[in-house]
Amino acid sequence: MNPAPGQTPLLDVHDLSVTFRMYDKTLRQHNLQVISELSVTVNQGEILAIAGSSGSGKSLLAHAVLGLLPANATVSGRMLYQGQELTPSRQEQLRGKEIALTPQAVTYLDPLLRVGDQVRGGNKTAAVTAQREAFQRYDLQSEIEAMFPFQLSGGMARRVLVSTAVLSGARLIIADEPTPGLGADIAQDMMNTFRELADSGKSVILITHDIELACAIADRVAIFYGGTTVEVAAAKDFTAGEAALRHPYSKALYRALPQNGFRPLAGFQPYAGNLPTGCLFTARCGLKTPECNKKIPLRELRGGSVRCVHAT
């Protein structure tokens, strides 16, 4: 769903770069740029799914938006929330209230706080009913309220994290891989919760490896590769088939889905410290020409966007 003309996206990330200051064995400093020219927007009332291989920059985007990157990270580019720049102080103000994160690592739960108390946050009495409803929905027994995080399985902890984000009342929920370790029914129920939230005017960024599950409820999908956006497509393009997609990597992802033949793509995503100058996908691409060695901008194509000179 693209915004109506003149409508400001809820979140607008434009040309984001993230560089880490690192030291090698001889304590020589070098800079490792792990995200480059990454752009995505999220509109009010929409679910944006983000997919891409491991290390493509999905979690770092979430952490950059929330201002949770480590101290050795430098960020450049533009991040606007409701049309206004996301400065560190604004990020702190919005974090957990307007923008909630369901982190990928379940270790983010406070180890010393009982589960029920963390899910309800500060608002203890008003939130008890809502918390119990959420627990029931995600098949979390009532005894879990009184437990400490170390007593939870990975799947339970994930359900607790999603309940926390949902109950926070945030306008934007960023769910980083919320489904691993969950049974199919619970994962589906979680997707349904995200859809309901979006239908009530909230926005969701759903970072996932499960493209099929995500595309059934998302509005749009952004595909990341090597720390940048290579395609943004309507979710229905992913179900329509290869021809509806734009970037050769998105098409390869499509072919790798079990229902489409499970045909894997040979080769590896390039390492951040050793990226080619032009298109990041050239080493694995059948369409490669000398033009691909130039800098490739993200351009509009068939109602989506793509970073490939050959895409039609």
Ligand X SMILES: Nc1ncnc2c1ncn2[C@@H]1O[C@H](COP(=O)(O)OP(=O)(O)OP(=O)(O)O)[C@@H](O)[C@H]1O
Which stretches of the chain bind ligand X, using CB under 6 A? 20, 32, 34, 52, 54-60, 70, 104, 272
Of 54 and 259, the one with the shorter C-beta distance to Ni ion is: 54
Q: What residues between 190 and 209 interact with Ni ion by CB under 5 A?
A: none
Q: How far is CA 187 from CA 33, 150, 163, 194, 220, in A?
A: 34, 22, 13, 11, 19
Identity at 252, one-letter amino acid code? A
**Which residue in the block uniquely carries the two structure tokens 């994160």?**
101
Q: Which two tokens stand for residue 64?
A: 């950059």
Of 106 and 296, the one with the shorter C-beta distance to Ni ion is: 106
Is 56 among the residues that bind Ni ion (CB under 5 A)?
Answer: no
Of 16 and 127, the one with the shorter C-beta distance to ligand X is: 16
Is 269 among the residues that bind Ni ion (CB under 5 A)?
Answer: no
The answer to whether the CB of 228 falls within 8 A of the CB of 307 is: yes
Residues 6+ apart with CB under 8 A from 297: 307
Of 64 and 140, the one with the shorter C-beta distance to ligand X is: 64
Element (H, E) at 84: strand 84-85
Distance between CA atoms of residues 287 and 153, nearest Å: 45
Q: Which does 45 bind (CB under 5 to 8 A by kind): ligand X, Ni ion, none?
A: none
The CB-of-295 to ligand X minimum distance in angstroms stands at 21
The window from 59-67, 111-119, 213-221, 238-246 that contacts Ni ion (CB under 5 A) reads 59-67
Q: 36, 44, 59, 229: which one contacts Ni ion (CB under 5 A)? A: 59
- φ and ψ of 187, to 5 deg: -60, -45
Per CB under 5 A, residues contacting Ni ion are 58-59, 104
